[in-house]
Amino acid sequence: MIVSLKIWDDEDGQGGRYEIYNRKSFTCRNLVGVLTFKNKVEKDTLYEMLVKYHAEVEIIPNDTVCGNFADNFFKL
């Protein structure tokens, strides 16, 4: 499974969340789960666990459109 991550910080800059997506293709990513963190230590620990030594994990920009390609781009 190829995994994509979006990293969102809360407005206060302390906490936030990781959104985890299963990458089916270059244009199709489905949300698998969300991990929340309360501070920078938790954020760094989760980042190291999820990304370090895992070549199949990519960080994607938060404005990247996710979901089924046909549903997103071929709306009738």
**Chain-centre distance of CA 19, in angstroms?**
4
The terminus-to-terminus CA distance of the chain in angstroms comes to: 31
Identify the pLDDT of residue 76: 56
- Placement of tokens 């949300």 in the chain: 31
Identify the pLDDT of residue 71: 73
Percent composition of the chain: helix, strand, coil (DSSP 3-state, to 5): 20, 40, 35
Phi, psi of 51, deg, nearest 5 = -110, -40
pLDDT digits (tens, 9 = 90+) for 24-67: 887 788 999 999 999 999 999 999 999 988 889 999 999 988 88
In which band, very low, low, confident or very high, does the pLDDT at 7 lie, cut at 50, 70 and 90? very high
